Amino acid sequence: MSAVNINKNNFRSEVMDSDKPVLLDFWAPWCGPCRMVVPIVEEIARERSDIKVGKVNVDEEPELAGQFGVMSIPTLVVMKDGKIVNQAMGARPKSAILGML
């Protein structure tokens, strides 16, 4: 499965009400480090059916970015049962992202 685009309209159903842990990637198309992380996040989404992967474009969803206190991108957030359990800023290798889960 590929990563789901998350916005304020589907946030509750896709993230808060998810029965799986959710990896959120806060990104923007103009962000170089974000472009390095996108293929890794997509790969994780395809390989791991036990988690849900979502992408939040901070330019299109500034309210969601603010809600999570995102100050720099990329920011990766892991949520379980509607709560933040892990968060990291900056580009990370696949092993580090998997380690967050």
Q: For 8-34, how does the pLDDT look when each residue is reduced to its tens digit (9 = 90+)?
A: 999 999 999 999 999 999 999 999 999
pLDDT given for residue 75 in this prediction? 97
Q: What percent of the chain has pLDDT above 70?
A: 100
Q: Over 90: is that where the pLDDT of 92 sits?
A: yes
Going by C-alpha positions, the residue among 52, 56, 36 that lies closest to residue 44 is 52
Q: Which residue has the tokens 């969601």?
A: 64
Report the pLDDT value the prediction gives residue 1, as an integer from 0 to 100.
80
Which residues are catalytic, by number?
A: 31, 34
Q: In this structure, are strands 83-89 and 75-80 parallel, antiparallel, or unpaired?
A: antiparallel
Between 57 and 2, name the one with better pLDDT. 57
pLDDT attached to residue 15: 96
Within 10 Å of residue 34's Cβ, how many Cβ atoms? 21
- d(CA 88, CA 74) in angstroms, rounded, equals 9
pTM of full prediction above 0.85: yes
